[in-house]
Amino acid sequence: MQDGLGLTPGEAAAGFVAAPLGEMGGAWLAMNLVARYGRAVPQAGALVAAAGLSGYHHLVTAQGAGMGTMAAAAPMLVVGLGLGMIGTPLADLTLGKVAHHHAGSASGLFNTATQLGIALGTALTTVVFFTHISTGARGAAVSTAFAGSLWYVVVTLDMMWR
């Protein structure tokens, strides 16, 4: 069975394997650059991820249900690269100047805020998706709703570097 983007679940999974591969590359890149460029590294990562999602939006809009596995994988590699550049140095940059006696509390607060942000971001993106689609929709309607929800994430990533 195919989903609304024209990929079988197996094809979609193969295409999305590119994201964690990109994240590994982004993490390596970030750890090599953060000592020199500091917080500019995760900010650049946000721009890279936004560019990848913009490319993905273009593919979904242009190809819709005809998009293949390789077309899905290319922008997800870029998205992963950007997300790796954000996530890897973020804890060190955020907690690096916290006094030793506050390290445990600060780390717990940082991790809680990170998890809360991920949950809220996922929930809000889902709300945006479902406001663009009706119950039982298939094919082009799903592609359109998905493309509409991507812009929400792109704008959010864009605000991170400012």
pLDDT given at position 65 = 62
Distance (Å, rounded) from C-alpha 85 to C-alpha 24? 9
pLDDT given at position 4 = 45
Distance (Å, rounded) from C-alpha 109 to C-alpha 89? 17
For 42-79, what is each residue's pLDDT tens digit? Answer: 999 999 999 999 998 888 888 776 777 788 788 999 99
Residue (of 92, 87, 108) closest to 157 by Cα position: 87
Distance (Å, rounded) from C-alpha 88 to C-alpha 26? 8
Distance (Å, rounded) from C-alpha 156 to C-alpha 47? 10
Distance (Å, rounded) from C-alpha 160 to C-alpha 140? 31
pLDDT given at position 132 = 83
Distance (Å, rounded) from C-alpha 75 to C-alpha 57? 9
pTM for this prediction: 0.83
pLDDT given at position 60 = 83
For 131-155, what is each residue's pLDDT tens digit? Answer: 888 887 777 777 788 888 888 889 8
Contacts of residue 17, defined as CB under 8 A and 6 or more positions apart, other chains included, come to 73
Residue (of 3, 51, 75, 59) closest to 153 by Cα position: 51
- 3-state class of 98 per DSSP? coil
R_g over Cα of the chain: 18
Alpha-carbon distances of 151 from 12, 21, 52, 105, 147, rounded to whole Å:
20, 23, 12, 35, 7
List helix spans (H) across the chain.
9-16, 18-37, 40-63, 69-95, 103-131, 140-160
